[in-house]
Structure 1
Amino acid sequence: MSDEHLSVALRPLSRRALLRGGLGLGALAAAGPLLAACSSSSSGSAAVSSSSTGGAGAFGDISVQLSWIKNIEFAGEFFADSKGYYKAAGFSSVDLVANNGGTTDIDQAVATGKVTVGLSAPDSTARHITDSGTPLKIIGSTYQKNPFCILSIAEHKPIRTPADLKGKTIAIQPGPNQGIFAGFLKANGLSAGDMKIVSAGFTPDELIAGHQDGYMAYLTNEPFLVEAAKLTPVTLGFADNGLPLTAETFTVLQKTIDTKRDMLKAFLLAEIKGWKDAVASPAEAARLAVTVYGKDQKLTVPEQTKEATAQNALVVSADTKKNGLFTLTGDLQAKIIKAVAAEGITITGGQLFDMSLLAEVYKEHPELIG
Structure 2
Amino acid sequence: MHHRPAAPAALPGVTAAPSRRLLLTGALAAPALALAGCSGSADGASAGGSLGTLEVNQNWIRTTEFAGEYFADSRGYYTGAGFTEVTLIPGGPSGTSSEAMVLSDSALVGMTTPLAAGSMVAGEEAPLVLLGAKFQRNPFTICSTSATPITTPVDLVGKRIGVATGTNEVLFNALLEVNGIDPADVERVTVQFDPQPLINGEVDGQICTLTNEAITVALAGLEAVNLPLADNGLPFVSGAFVTTVQNVAERREELKGFLAATVRGWKDALADPEESARLAYEEYGADLGLDPEKEQRQAEAQNQLVVSDETDSNGLFTISDELAAKNIELLALAGHEVDQDAFFDPTLLQEVYEENPDLLPA
Q: 1:138·1:252 contact (CA, 8 Å) conserved in 2? A: yes
How far apart, in 2, do the equivalents of 1:55 and 1:220 lie? 35
How far apart, in 1, do the equivalents of 2:131 and 2:26 lie? 28
Q: CA deviation at 1:275?
A: 0.5
1:332 to 2:323 alignment: yes
Q: CA deviation at 1:101?
A: 4.2
SS at match of 2:83: coil
Q: Taking CA–CA contacts closer than 8 Å with sequence separation of 6 or more, which of the two structures ends up with the larger relative contact order?
A: 2
Cα-to-partner distance string for 1:60-102 (whole Å, 9 max, x where unaligned): 0010011011110111011001111011111111110111443
Q: CA deviation at 1:243?
A: 0.6
How far apart, in 2, do the equivalents of 1:168 and 1:212 lie? 8
Q: CA deviation at 1:178?
A: 1.7
1:40 to 2:37 alignment: yes
- Shifted more, 131-140 versus 358-367: the winner is 358-367
SS at match of 1:215: strand
Q: CA deviation at 1:8?
A: 11
- For residue 163 of structure 1, what is the amino acid of its counterpart? V
How far apart, in 2, do the equivalents of 1:41 and 1:324 lie? 28
Q: Which residue of 2 aligns with 1:209?
A: 200
How far apart, in 1, do the equivalents of 2:144 and 2:58 lie? 29
Q: Which residue of 1 aligns with 2:180?
A: 189
How far apart, in 1, do the equivalents of 2:71 and 2:167 lie? 31
Q: 2:150·2:226 contact (CA, 8 Å) conserved in 1? A: yes
- For residue 146 of structure 1, what is the amino acid of its counterpart? N
Q: 1:149·1:216 contact (CA, 8 Å) conserved in 2? A: yes
How far apart, in 2, do the equivalents of 1:68 and 1:342 lie? 27
How far apart, in 2, do the equivalents of 1:286 and 1:253 lie? 31
**1:164-183 matches, cutoff 5 A:** 164-183=155-174
How far apart, in 1, do the equivalents of 2:168 and 2:293 lie? 29
Instruction: Name the TM-score, length of structure 1 as normaliser.
Output: 0.85
Q: 1:187·1:342 contact (CA, 8 Å) conserved in 2? A: no
Q: 2:26·2:335 contact (CA, 8 Å) conserved in 1? A: no
Q: CA deviation at 1:223?
A: 1.4
* Structure 2 residue corresponding to 1:282, chosen from 240, 251, 273: 273
* Structure 2 residue corresponding to 1:198, chosen from 186, 189, 194: 189
Cα-to-partner distance string for 1:161-183 (whole Å, 9 max, x where unaligned): 11211121112112232222222
Q: Which residue of 2 aligns with 1:45?
A: none
1:15 to 2:30 alignment: yes
Cα-to-partner distance string for 1:250-290 (whole Å, 9 max, x where unaligned): 10010000111122111110010000001100111111111
Q: Which residue of 2 aligns with 1:26?
A: none
Q: Which residue of 2 aligns with 1:49?
A: none
Q: Which residue of 2 aligns with 1:358?
A: 349
How far apart, in 2, do the equivalents of 1:270 and 1:133 lie? 30
- For residue 94 of structure 1, what is the amino acid of its counterpart? V
How far apart, in 1, do the equivalents of 2:212 and 2:72 lie? 24
- Shifted more, 120-129 versus 191-200: the winner is 191-200
Sort the Cα spacing of 1:8 and 1:176 in 2 relative to 1 into closer, same or farther, 3 A: farther
Q: Show structure 2 runs of 5+ residues with no match.
A: 1-24, 40-45
Q: 1:184·1:243 contact (CA, 8 Å) conserved in 2? A: yes
Instruction: Name the TM-score, length of structure 2 as normaliser.
Output: 0.86
- Shifted more, 322-331 versus 204-213: the winner is 204-213
* Structure 2 residue corresponding to 1:145, chosen from 123, 131, 137: 137
1:81 to 2:78 alignment: no
Q: CA deviation at 1:194?
A: 2.9
- Shifted more, 285-294 versus 178-187: the winner is 178-187
Aligned positions, number: 331
How far apart, in 1, do the equivalents of 2:167 and 2:221 lie? 31
Q: Show structure 1 runs of 5+ residues with no match.
A: 1-6, 23-35, 43-53
RMSD, aligned α-carbons: 2.1
Q: CA deviation at 1:112?
A: 1.2
- Shifted more, 228-237 versus 177-186: the winner is 177-186
How far apart, in 1, do the equivalents of 2:321 and 2:26 lie? 29
Q: 2:165·2:192 contact (CA, 8 Å) conserved in 1? A: no
How far apart, in 1, do the equivalents of 2:330 and 2:225 lie? 23
Q: 1:183·1:339 contact (CA, 8 Å) conserved in 2? A: no
* Structure 2 residue corresponding to 1:345, chosen from 329, 336, 344: 336
- Shifted more, 143-152 versus 95-104: the winner is 95-104
Q: CA deviation at 1:187?
A: 2.1
Sort the Cα spacing of 1:143 and 1:294 in 2 relative to 1 into closer, same or farther, 3 A: same
How far apart, in 2, do the equivalents of 1:15 and 1:137 lie? 15
Q: 2:30·2:97 contact (CA, 8 Å) conserved in 1? A: no
Q: 1:68·1:102 contact (CA, 8 Å) conserved in 2? A: no
Q: 1:39·1:100 contact (CA, 8 Å) conserved in 2? A: no
How far apart, in 2, do the equivalents of 1:340 and 1:127 lie? 7
- For residue 233 of structure 1, what is the amino acid of its counterpart? A
Q: Which residue of 1 aligns with 2:95?
A: 103
- For residue 144 of structure 1, what is the amino acid of its counterpart? Q
Sort the Cα spacing of 1:8 and 1:274 in 2 relative to 1 into closer, same or farther, 3 A: closer
Sort the Cα spacing of 1:101 and 1:166 in 2 relative to 1 into closer, same or farther, 3 A: closer
- For residue 82 of structure 1, what is the amino acid of its counterpart? S
Q: CA deviation at 1:313?
A: 0.6
Q: CA deviation at 1:118?
A: 0.7
Cα-to-partner distance string for 1:172-209 (whole Å, 9 max, x where unaligned): 11223222222222222223123122212231222222
Q: 1:183·1:342 contact (CA, 8 Å) conserved in 2? A: no
- Shifted more, 136-145 versus 292-301: the winner is 292-301
- Shifted more, 178-187 versus 137-146: the winner is 178-187
Q: 1:184·1:342 contact (CA, 8 Å) conserved in 2? A: no
Task: Give aligned-pair identity as a percent.
Answer: 40
Q: CA deviation at 1:345?
A: 2.5
